[in-house]
Amino acid sequence: MPVTEIALALGIDEVREQVLEGFQGVLLTDKVRSRGKILVNSARGSKPARFGIAHELGHFLMERHVLGMERGFLCSEADMQQSRTAKLHDKQESEANAFAIALLAPNSLIAPMLSADPSIEVVRSHAQLLDLSLEATTRCLIDRHDEPLAAIWTKDGIIRFIVRNERFPWINRDLRQKVSALSRTSDVISNGALTTTEMQEVAPAAWTNADLPELFEQVRLIRDGHALTLLWATLPESEED
């Protein structure tokens, strides 16, 4: 998706990428959003920068968003990981993220990913196709796939953040908590090899208190202790159960 060209066609006068410290994106505009300028951090590469442009464009187009500073928005890396929350600032950041993903990954382009069995390999191939990060593409899979799915990002075995769709049960592990020793993630991190496992069955108690017939887990150990875990649940056949 030609995100810069789209922004310039919708009232953004300038889109600039440069190395920044302390924040990922800036939108300079006025309260009525007559015109605007976008500046994004290029330090982490082109994919996060593209997402940042789409995120700031979301703030620009959603005029009910309250400016975070006198003439615009200043968005951190944490802001671009927000999902659901009640606080006004965080809610606006979550909405801008949803806008960015919808723009950069429309259903017409990710239909093959949504029709396939969930897997990290499928996500990786679509991330390359869309020129999106693995994280953003994984969020697309979780949000739009019909199956009960969840994803967990960890660093050195400590949970950084969790995304799950509405069909997946509540995960009983908290942020900044170590992953369960029952999980495949724990085994992969202990092994230390940079690899992507197969989707394998795991004890549901590794991640949830829900009484699930089956739970499957796939893990990708990336680098510097970072890992992505994909969970796929089988729900009880009875709605009452």
Can you give the pTM of this predicted structure?
Answer: 0.82
pLDDT at 157: 96
**Residue 8: which pLDDT band, with cuts at 50, 70 and 90?**
very high
226 phi, psi to nearest 5 deg: -85, 140
User: Which CATH entry fits the domain spanning 107-234: 1.20.58, 3.30.160, 3.30.450, 3.30.9?
Assistant: 3.30.450
Query: What is the spatial distance between Cα 157 and Cα 20, in angstroms, rounded to a whole number?
Result: 29
Residue ranges covered by each domain of the chain: 3-104, 107-234
pLDDT at 80: 67
pLDDT at 222: 92
Name the least confident of 32-41, 128-137, 148-157, 230-239: 230-239
212 phi, psi to nearest 5 deg: -95, 140
Q: Which two tokens stand for residue 62?
A: 């959603």
User: Which CATH entry fits the domain spanning 3-104: 3.20.20, 1.10.10, 2.60.120, 1.10.3470?
Assistant: 1.10.10
Q: Which residues contact 182 (CB under 8 A, 6 or more apart)?
A: 202, 203, 205, 206
Segment 152-187, tens digit of pLDDT? 999 999 999 999 999 999 999 899 999 999 999 999
Are both 3-104 and 107-234 of the same fold? no
Mean pLDDT of the chain: 91
Segment 13-44, tens digit of pLDDT? 999 999 988 888 999 998 888 999 999 999 98
Query: What is the spatial distance between Cα 83 and Cα 80, in angstroms, rounded to a whole number?
Result: 9
How is 91-155 classified by DSSP, letter by letter?
A: HHHHHHHHHHHHHHS-HHHHHHHHHSPP-HHHHHHHHHHHT--HHHHHHHHHHH-SS-EEEEEEE
Taking the CA atoms of residue 103, residue 133, residue 148 and residue 158 in that order, the dihedral angle to the nearest 10 degrees is -140
